[in-house]
Amino acid sequence: MTPAPRAVIAAALEDWWTTTDPVEPFAPTTLAADVELHLISSGYRITPDDRTTMPRHSSSCDASTRTEFGALGPCVLRHDHGGPVHRDAAGATWVRTTDWYPSRLSVAYGIVLTLALLAAATVAGIRGHGWWALVGVAAAAITSKEVADELAERRHYRRGRRT
């Protein structure tokens, strides 16, 4: 008859405790190996439980981030996983900090820059410099797209903090 798993784990811990020098630093990997050896030698089979490691929701977090080494993401953890740590499909993890989202100053600067570019394009158009007016309008369009993306990121972050 196979002994109860708690009894086997207790025996493994007792063996580890009596054979380990208490002055040495704690070695969790050695302890885990000893417990595993006791469980296997007592007739238990250790296998991963896929039901607990598989995502329970069909939708995922999909967060991503840019680093100096490239992009990480999208996050494969469940949507609203309730923590700052994200993990991609390759196993890389990252933490979003409070300084990653655009500040109010950054958004305001983008809006002012967009308005200045539109004003310059208007002046260039009135003076008959069509090429410079076109360049100003294109730059304003690119800058306004950046501002819209920053606002969406900021809104997404602020809504995520409330839940």
Separation of alpha carbons 136 and 6, rounded Å: 73
pLDDT of residue 10: 76
pLDDT of residue 160: 63
Over residues 75-124, the pLDDT tens digits come to 777 666 666 677 777 777 767 655 466 778 888 999 999 999 999 999 99
79: CB partners within 8 A, 6+ apart = 57, 59, 60, 61, 62
d(CA 39, CA 2): 10
Helix, coil or strand: residue 67: strand
Question: Residue 28: its pLDDT value, please?
Answer: 72
Percent of the chain predicted with pLDDT > 70: 66
Give the residue with greater pLDDT, 145 vs 19: 145
pLDDT score recorded for residue 155:
82
User: How far out from the chain centre does Cα 159 lie?
Assistant: 16
The position carrying tokens 């054979």 is 19
For the stretch 25-77, pLDDT in tens is 767 777 777 777 777 777 777 776 655 554 444 466 666 666 656 676 677 77
Lowest mean pLDDT among 5-9, 58-62, 138-142, 155-159: 58-62
